[in-house]
Amino acid sequence: MPEPQEFGGQSRFYLDDLAVGRRFTSATRVIDAEQIKAFAGQFDPQPFHLDEEKAADTLFGGLAASGWHTAAITMRLLVESGLPLVGGIVGAGGEISWPSPRGRGMFCGS
């Protein structure tokens, strides 16, 4: 197995270096209502992302972050502190799902 490459003092791996079961842990990030509403106002303007009163009557039961917001945060965390791949993380396919909503004060990370 090849040795990982160094980049900026951190080991970077090729896909061939990875083995089933290998884990990497990212940092975490807490989001608040203001951040949820700001992202939603610009990119996903649905009532359960923008208005706490309207969100209370939805399946979320309260303000919920957009799945796209959490996906963007996850990507940032992966790039900065998660999966250290040589050449970066390329979105060449995959699946995405949001099994549980994230509201204010909740964190994203692995």
Q: Is 80 helix (H, G, I), strand (E, B) or coil?
A: helix
Beta strands 5-7 and 107-109 are: unpaired
Nearest-angstrom CA–CA distance, 48 and 66 = 9
- Predicted TM-score (pTM) of this structure: 0.74
Amino acid identity, residue 5? Answer: Q
For the chain, the average pLDDT equals 83
- Residues 57-108 have pLDDT tens digits of 998 899 999 999 999 998 898 888 888 888 887 766 677 777 776 665 655 6
